Structure 1
């Protein structure tokens, strides 16, 4: 079959459009924890960034996440997580999960809060002003479990870590410290937040 110049131009345009579309990280992480419920349907983060509560600075697009509060300290650190939800998930139930199964993950003060973000973070910031952490409504309070998935704690605002999967696109979440002391660190390729759906 011989292609005309116009046909080739159309095919090149389609290829560029398709390659520019975001690719969701489906099952990119080897989720093998005995506490994991379903290994067949998971979305891992498209990107993570660190937010400093002291001055509003954002370290954009980092590889490792951190949730930290030091007693009598003045810089709460949270992690902003962006997920890409592919089309077709609207009929499913989603659940925000948090895994610390890797040996390099650190937990010393294990309670944290999960929030929806009103917008996703798209760039770094040196301090107060846009962008911000865009904190929205609470999803719930969780307790990190070494070697497994965090557990939702009862009796706190939110308790909605399960929700109707959103329409296709990017959605943001924040994992933030609570209480007097929190210190959780993880490598984004192996541990930390993910979304399971069924």
Structure 2
């Protein structure tokens, strides 16, 4: 009986200490949209690994191992026409990696990533459209906007449905890695 009480007390302490998902960490005045999927895109092969558990932006100086992250959001009908704003956050409890410049370029996408893996070059590619902003990533906090690129990360929310964005390393050598459960891009409206 003593062992069971001790085990339950320990389990309760561990579950209450676990970090809350990103949407639970903001004041109620914010409405948060977290990604419905994040996918890793290989710049060299064109392969897309759909709905990965981690986001990765990597530039090594040789394009053979460069990776960008394709982020898909599902916009609810209640957000359509409102003012949306994209953000990037690295949670202190997440096992993140930030090396190099810590800069990420945000691009809009012509279409969200396909809902399946893509083994190599061919349709659809990364669907990169226009550059929207550059973030300086902060371990354990909110990314700040760099003045190197005009900030267009605030925009009219599109109609309900899926929209896509691409996160790309901005320096010559960068690696930024995060777990999607706690960190990454999100939209407020």
* TMscore range, shorter length: 0.7 to 0.9
- State how 1:1-198 maps to structure 2 within 5 Å: 29-30=22-23, 32=25, 40-72=30-62, 74-101=64-91, 102-109=93-100, 110-122=102-114, 123-156=116-149, 158-197=150-189
User: Secondary structure, in 3 states, of the residue corresponding to 1:74?
Assistant: helix
Unaligned runs of 5+ in 1: 1-26
How many residues matched?
167
Offset from partner CA, 1:56-88 (integer Å, 9 cap, x none): 111111111100011345332000010000012
- Bigger proportion of residues as helix: 2
TM-score (norm 2): 0.81
Contact 1:116 1:137 in 2 (8 A): yes
Distance in 2 (alpha carbons) for counterparts of 1:74 and 1:112: 19
Aligned to 1:13: none
Deviations 1:150-186 (Å, cap 9, x if unpaired)?
1111132x51011111110000011011221111000
Q: Which runs of 5+ in 2 are unaligned?
A: 1-19
Contact preservation (8 Å) 1:50, 1:62: yes
Q: Per-residue CA shift, 1:82-112, capped at 9, x if unaligned?
A: 0000012134211111101134111112101
TM-score, structure 1 as length reference: 0.78
Cα distance change of structure 1 residues 38 and 138 upon mapping to structure 2, 3 Å threshold: farther
Distance 2:94 2:180 in 1: 13
Query: Whole-Å Cα distance in 1 between the matches of residues 28 and 58 of structure 2?
Result: 29
* Aligned alpha-carbon RMSD (Å): 2.0
